Every structure is written in structure tokens, then in C-alpha cells.
Copies of this chain bind each other. A is one copy, B any other.
């Protein structure tokens, strides 16, 4: 059979990894797919830049669109990220009759509809194993291995950068800012880490998994998304004292045929697989109505794990599997999507950490404000503080002490009403910390 000719767009960490695998392991590619897989065109930003991989100068160009539509390219691998010009490049490639492989979750989350339709019309496919959770083959799993099931729940760590930062803070007793700086230094975080630490990246990945698992199209603006950028070391330590770890958890689950959806820093019991997943790793728990609970984990980012996913997609394209898979993916609105559960109705337990004024009756005021909103308390931590007369202070301002509360189950709506009531008390320093607790 003819060789499969690859046009690679973007030669960053992942692109270099892909090129290296194709060049160094050409025999393996042929064995696994039944065809040679050959890198014929590579688009880069600057052809003169020194690189760690040696490619024939004739394959390099700065013209991405030319690679996307080149006659000696059968499949286009888009690894530049972002929405523009990635969208135009992918559309051009599909219209020129190329299959497309992409690691671009932002693009698929934002323009997936349009791109999937374009692929369908062109009778081509889009493969995107690398768009979610790097080395964890969750797209293969969801779209092929779990097809007997209606997925009923997804619970996952989908952002390796955030997880690295949280792990670093807890294990090294580091402040958030120091952990971010280290993550940047080690290449786990970008110069501007906001997509990672604000939860957007994880939420986009959750959106893609939600589309595959539930047929529901969502973008991060439509559900609860919080990042780890407001978490303090103290929260990790209180959580640990209570028997929990704090993780950025992306959740999608069916509750009475509605879809509960959120990506938030969450307390997870220490004996759960998610709590035990440290460093730049991802983990995904899938529950199916037939199979029960299953778990998948591996390195979530990094050049080589993500290259592994891209190359497995290339082998699927070469072997003819990718197009069959794409045709069977439930992306065409062929069933009624599950509606989103209104955010106020989401029902969970919560962790609250607040700095409260150290005077008589404060605890009564707080528990009363919670109680009036039908929120009952499961546990409280208030560590012993020195007696007021023992504190040698001439500061006339009120003294504040930390108070940690875990609530019983309540709704997000009640919690928000209680938060307004608490804010009006005046005995709590703002802002305070509020995190859900995973079941």
C-alpha cells in the first residue's frame, strides 16, 4: 500500500516528539499500520531556528496553509494550538481532502461543531486523542472500548500543570506563587499560566469528553469553572487534617437525567485514586451503566506522552481505523443530548475556610446564618488560640482567627444564599475560601 504522507504544522515540544518518533521508529510505524508513514512537510514559525531534530531543509516551510493543502500530504497534524489560524488551517486541510489530527482542545471545544461537520462533508476524519490528557488514551476508550455503556459519570484531573502546582505546594510546604514559578522553570507551565491555573484548559477538555460521553455540547462559560489560583497552602493543610487532598477536579455526571458539570478545586478523600494522583499526572474515572467504575491514568502533558497519542492517531489513519471510528462517533446530534442541571441545584458537601473575628458570639452568628439557609455542619476546626490577655498587642483592631467548616450536603443555591448572609455579618474577613467536597 502507498505510504501515508504527513504534513506537520507546529514543531514545538509535541511536534518535535512526533517527528522524532516517525523518523526514529519508521519500521514500527509500518509494522503497526501496514503502511509506511512519512513526514513530507513541516510548517514552522522560523525555518532558520536551530532544532534538536534534523529534518531535510526541503520539508520545512513557514507557510502553514501550504502544508495543509499540499498535494504530497494525506494527513495534516495541527499542533500550533489556539483558535487562529488553527481553525482556518484545519478547514482548509479538510476541504483539500486531508484527514486531520489535532491536539487542540480549545479549537475543538470552540469550533468542534463546524470542524466535525466539515470533516463529515469532505468524507474525512478528525482524530484528537492528544487533545485530552496527553498519554491517557481516553478518547479511544470512550469512543470504542466503552461503547456498550451509557457513561453515567466522569471525574478527572485533566490539567497536569495545576496538579503539579498543588502537589508541590503540599509536599514542599510552598506558597502558590513559588510553586507556579517552579512549574514554569521545569516547563510544566507557560509564561502566562492562566489557561491552566484558572481552570479553562481542564474545562475545555471536560467539554470534549462531555460531548463524546453525553452528546451534550458545552463550552466553559456554561458551567462552574474555578481554578487553583485562589488556593492557599493553609487549605491543603486543613484538608489533609480532615483526611482529604485538594485537587482540580473536572466532573460530569448524570443526576436524574440532567448533567451536573463543574471544574473546581475539590476536596477528595485521601484513599481515592484522584487524591493519590500527584505531580504532572492526569487521571480519569469513567463510570458506565454496564461496566461500573474504571480508572485511567498517565502523564497528562509533556512532549513525548502527547506525541504517543498523536502517533497512535496517525497509525489509526494509516490503518483505516480512524475514519471508521470517526463515522461512528456520536457527534451528529443523533440522540437527544442530556440537559445541564441548573447550577443552583447542584448538591454537594462544602469546605469553608474563613478568618473570623475572635470575640464572643461570632460562632453563633455564623452557624445561625448557615442554619437559616438549612445548611448543617458536619465538622469544624478551630485550633486553640492564645487567651486574649496573653497576646501582647497594642493594636486596637479586632483580632481574626481561622475557622474551617465542613457542611453536610446542600445545594449550590443554598450555599450562595448563605454566603450573602455571612457577608452581611461583618465578622468574617473577605474573601473566604469555599470548595466542594467530592462524594
Contacts and interface: CB of A to CB of B under 8 A. Distances in A.
A391 to B, nearest CB: 41
A137 B294 CA distance: 9
A316 interface: yes
A150 to B, nearest CB: 7
A299 B291 contact: yes
A422 B194 CA distance: 63
Given A140-B144, A295-B295, A315-B147, A330 B31 contact: yes
A32 interface: yes
A28 interface: yes
Contact of A150 (B17, B28, B136, B309): B28
Contacts of A146: 137, 308, 312
Interface stretch (A258-266, A319-327, A366-374, A431-439): A319-327
B129 A330 contact: no
Which of A28, A291, A297, A305: most chain B CB closer than 10 A?
Answer: A291
A193 interface: no
Nearest to A290: B308
Interface in A299-322: 299, 304-305, 307-312, 314-316, 319-321
Interface in A115-160: 129, 135-137, 140-141, 144-150
A335 B144 contact: no
A131 B150 CA distance: 22
A381 to B, nearest CB: 26
Nearest to A286: B298
A174 B33 CA distance: 51
Given A295-B297, A304-B292, A129 B145 contact: yes
Contact of A149 (B292, B294, B308): B308
Contact of A145 (B141, B291, B320): B141
B304 A298 contact: no
A296 interface: yes
Contacts of A299: 291-294
A334 interface: yes
A105 to B, nearest CB: 18
A321 B319 CA distance: 10
A438 to B, nearest CB: 17
Given A34-B328, A307-B148, A292 B298 contact: yes
A225 interface: no
A273 interface: yes
A292 B305 contact: yes
Contacts of A70: none
A21 interface: yes
Interface of A: 17, 21, 25, 28, 31-34, 129, 135-137, 140-141, 144-150, 271, 273, 276, 288, 290-299, 304-305, 307-312, 314-316, 319-321, 324-325, 327-328, 330, 334-335
Given A148-B312, A291-B299, A321-B328, 20 more contacts: A25-B148, A28-B148, A31-B334, A33-B147, A34-B327, A135-B292, A137-B294, A141-B145, A147-B311, A147-B312, A147-B316, A148-B310, A273-B297, A290-B308, A291-B298, A291-B304, A292-B305, A295-B296, A320-B324, A324-B324
13 contacts: A25-B148, A137-B146, A140-B145, A147-B311, A149-B308, A290-B308, A290-B311, A291-B304, A295-B296, A319-B328, A320-B324, A321-B324, A321-B328
